[in-house]
Amino acid sequence: MVPPKHKSDQKAGLSSGLYTRGYSPLMFRVMLINLLAVVILAGGVLYVNQFRYELLQRTTANLEVQAEIIAAAIGEAAQGDEDIDSSVARPIINRLVGPTNVRARLFSTEEKLIIDSRFLSGENKVIAEPLPDPRDEQSLLQRFEESLYRAIDYFADQKEFPLQNEETGPNAFALPEVKKALEGMPETILRRQQDGLIVVNIALPIQRFRRVLGSLHISATTEDIEAIVRAEQFSIIRVFLYAFAVTLMLSFFLGRTLATPIRTLARAAVRVRRGIGKEVSLPEFSQRKDEIGDLSRALSDMTRALYNQIDAVERFAADVAHELKNPLTSMRSALETIKLTDKKEHKERLLAILEDDVQRLDRLISDISDASRLDAELTRSKMDPVDLEVLLKNMIHTYQQTSCAEGPLIEMKASDGKDYKVLGIEERLSQVWRNIIDNALTFTPQDKTIRLELSSNEKLITIRIEDEGQGLSKGAEDKIFKRFYSERPDHDDHHALSGGGGHSGLGLAISKQVVEAHGGTIHASNRMTDKEEILGARFEVRLPAMHRE
């Protein structure tokens, strides 16, 4: 017994590139669903039999009326209570039945055949019916039609009829309906011939003054009905074949329109997975203005974002290795120097360097860990309403009560009556303001002021943070948001205000990432006088305002 495949085995099969098949299940489903309606149309052929039986009922009713007229005419022509006079009945039958394909037979009360409409004038003259030439062979099309009709009749709801026996001879022993008619009861029986045609048999008593003088038997085949039914069936089959061919071609076209680009994208995705180390582009069906085009463009954008993320991870790893080497190199040098010196003041200075490098490593590792899990946290965390005015007021109060008690003054200005709520992650937004304010504290002297200003309109909330420090160096407006970029003042007297351990160069990069994840923007610039003198740095953050219902 072969054990069932585990899910991991199935995944392994997919990972081996089995994303395409020799046939398209999607195309098969499209064709099957489209052809189903056509097949249902073809099923209407089977219900034409109901139409056949309705025509048969109407034909039977007409024949019954015709038989009653003939029987009444023959009965009225009889003289007195005598039996039927064949010389009088024959012209009546010839005149009323002759122009039709109906066969009429007249029987006496002794069940003997008196008149048969097949005999025209005299008992020795009959209608010659030519037999088909046995050498004539049916064509292939005729044989196909016959086989098709037999198949339709086999599956159709066929009613059972007794077999028609034409070998009646000079009496009515094979026609039980005639016996009933001689007893005064009309009888109608439908029978089927060997070739499948239905024959309508009607027997009526010929009466005069309620005395039965004989029996009239009317029989008629239904070639005309069968021809009508066959013509209808052939029309339905012909329409079905045309519709089947057109639907098949359209379904094939639709299937290829859907399946081919999807399979192309699947193969390209396999190439991307196998060549993950090198950039492989996905085909773009940019000319298509439908969901397939949207899918191809979305996959292409996703692939480019994946490669960008891979490149960013590689650059981040290289930057991390570089930044970690600096304090490690400093620590290695300090340790080697401690071994070579016996002076106490030198050892204390080297230990201070080691302590500072340890704090720097700790800060680096913490910020690197924070930056590495930031993407996942921003993606998975739920965003809630955050009141920026309340958040900034609480944060300024905390600075004033702790590390900034002896530092620069922090002021905040916000318009009264304005709503400063955004949808976001409060902890991460707090980190943005902490990073920007810490940066401002680093550059702003103790006797200066850091100003925060909030403004808003219907769509955006703007937070502007200005300091009175030395400002940004030329060309640093964009560089400061890059990872591990650090620019410190010549005399960093506020080293302790920023938390100790130095700066990792990740704070503003993390701030930019958080702001953009919230759908906002962050910019840095210098505050300038009319004489192009720098008054300090300005950071401006814009976030989308929360829609008020």
What is the dihedral angle through the alpha carbons of 65, 66, 68, 74, rounded to the nearest 10 degrees? 170
Q: How much is the pLDDT for 15?
A: 46
Q: Which of 518, 390, 547 is nearest to 458 (CA)?
A: 547
**pTM higher than the cut 0.85:** no
User: Looking at residue 541, what is its pLDDT?
Assistant: 93
Interatomic CA distance for residues 124 and 112, integer angstroms: 17
Same fold, 21-121+141-280 and 382-544: no
Q: Where are the domains of the chain?
A: 21-121+141-280, 291-372, 382-544
Write out the chain's pLDDT in tens, 549 residues. Answer: 444 444 444 444 444 444 455 566 767 777 777 777 777 776 666 667 677 788 888 989 999 998 999 888 888 877 665 677 778 888 888 888 877 788 888 888 888 888 888 775 444 444 555 555 555 566 676 676 677 667 666 666 667 777 777 655 566 677 888 889 888 899 999 988 887 788 899 999 988 877 888 899 898 888 888 888 888 777 877 887 888 888 888 878 877 777 778 777 877 777 777 765 566 666 767 677 777 777 777 777 887 777 777 777 777 677 677 667 777 888 888 888 888 888 888 778 888 888 887 887 777 777 777 766 676 667 777 888 988 888 988 888 888 777 555 678 888 888 777 788 898 888 888 888 888 888 888 888 888 888 999 988 878 999 999 988 888 888 777 788 877 666 655 544 444 333 444 556 677 888 888 888 888 999 998 888 878 888 888 999 999 988 755
pLDDT attached to residue 46: 66
Q: Which helix (H) or strand (E) holds 385?
A: strand 384-387
Assign domain 21-121+141-280 one CATH number from 2.60.260.20, 3.30.450.20, 3.30.43.10, 2.40.160.20: 3.30.450.20
Q: What is the pLDDT of residue 201?
A: 92
- Yes or no: domain 382-544 corresponds to CATH 3.30.565.10: yes
Which pLDDT does position 202 carry in this prediction? 92
Element (H, E) at 543: strand 534-544
Answer whether CATH 1.10.10 is correct for domain 291-372: no
> Which residues, in sequence order, are bridge partners of residue 201?
189, 219
Residue-level pLDDT at 3:
46
Say which amino acid occupies 117: S
* Angstrom distance (rounded) from CA 274 to CA 72: 97
